[in-house]
Chains A and B, each alone.
Chain A
């Protein structure tokens, strides 16, 4: 009788310990996954912000007769692709295309119309654009940091067992090529 009681207590204690550690582990995964999602939404917000800046930018150079129409077409096309992109990978790819299209266009315009460098409104938008690019880069880095913390916890033993039970899967890292990640330098000297 005594032995039976001890066995029951032992089993109950074991189950309780497992349940408590499972809960803690599960909540840990939830927190880390939420951090990843937050970082991801920050990226989207900043990408949207940049897309919204482009029409203003175009307006600021409207006064110049032919503001490099061919390179601008590439920008508008890339921009609509970003808007239509589905999922993180596609969005990343489309926005990388937009990055380079904007770079090419801005360089073309600035080269063709050096006097723009003295245009206050143009400068202001140039700063806004560069700042937004920088925010995107920072948001992507923050996302990768959060993703790394989360992925590590999903893969490491013994957490990996809990992650497997509850279906927490690794998230993808944001991998940008160097050119897409670089902030365009603005040189007004």
Chain B
């Protein structure tokens, strides 16, 4: 009897050691910051003024409530040698920015020491924010501030433009004084139509995989369910006890495919 207990103990110990070794390998791979409680504002480099951070948070929460879309600002001191586009994409995927069934997330990443900004756009918003328009938004609202080291004002302007473009996409009224971005490009319409076609194609492929993988009943249920329940990702509004009036937010599971634009300044 004693022997058995000893053996069991030894096996358990070995398993624990093995498991911890495995998780060590995993955690070493992903070195991304974790989102703050405010989710829409993650000012790790501390470049935002308090007023601007609050404005961004409030309009981000309002946008999320109205459309389920999520736009997050992330500022870091350094990209740690990564490409800005990759870093922004990883944040979008890892944090699950945007709703899972709509992939309507946007990550605005600014690195202070690299003097670089990249806006990564989720699959579902690639029609509303094609790369050219995203680049134009940075040029119009950000670059002049960034070159004067006024990161806060630039990020606020960019955030405001993106929020309004998303409102327009969802058929809602943008802010009164917002002038919609018009990208002068003959190819624009064609390209966005193509993008819509691509996202449909991807969607169809995913559906087919789902249905074949889970069988008819399971597949359809799994796919249909988030449509009804996936929209709202509030977390304990009023019971967490935090000072924010909206409670805390987290990612909805949106996915990204590498769309977006960036600038060095």
- Residue of A35, A123, A134, A138 with most chain B CB atoms under a 10 A cut-off: A134
Do the beta carbons of B198 and A45 come within 8 Å of each other?
yes
Overall SS of chain B's interface:
helix
* Docked CA distance A185–B263 (Å): 8
Task: Give 1 or 0 for each of B180-204: 1 = CB within 8 Å of chain A CB.
Answer: 0001111110110010001001100
- Sample (25) of A-B pairs whose CB atoms are under 8 Å apart: A30-B212, A34-B213, A49-B198, A56-B187, A56-B190, A59-B186, A120-B185, A121-B184, A121-B186, A123-B132, A124-B132, A124-B136, A124-B188, A125-B187, A126-B135, A127-B132, A127-B134, A128-B187, A131-B261, A132-B131, A136-B258, A138-B89, A182-B83, A186-B263, A189-B263
- Summed over the interface, the residue pairs from A and B with CB atoms below 8 Å come to a total of 105
Do the beta carbons of A128 and B132 come within 8 Å of each other?
yes
**Chain A: residues with CB nearer than 8 A to chain B?**
27, 30-31, 34-35, 38, 41-42, 45, 49, 52-53, 56, 59, 120-121, 123-128, 130-132, 134-139, 182-183, 185-189
Q: State the interface size on chain B (CB cutoff 8 A).
A: 40
Q: Does B209 touch A at the CB level, under 8 Å?
A: yes
- CB neighbours (8 Å) of A31 from chain B are 209, 213
Give the Cβ gap from A73 to chain B, nearest Cβ, in Å.
22
Do the beta carbons of A120 and B258 come within 8 Å of each other?
no
- Residue of B194, B205, B206, B258 with most chain A CB atoms under a 10 A cut-off: B258
* Docked CA distance A76–B133 (Å): 27
**Chain B: residues with CB nearer than 8 A to chain A?**
83, 85, 89, 130-136, 139, 143, 147, 183-188, 190-191, 194, 198, 201-202, 205-206, 209, 212-213, 256-265
Q: Which of A30, A45, A125 contacts B201, CB < 8 Å?
A: A45
- CB neighbours (8 Å) of A132 from chain B are 131
- CB neighbours (8 Å) of B209 from chain A are 31, 34-35, 38
Give the Cβ gap from B228 to chain A, nearest Cβ, in Å.
26
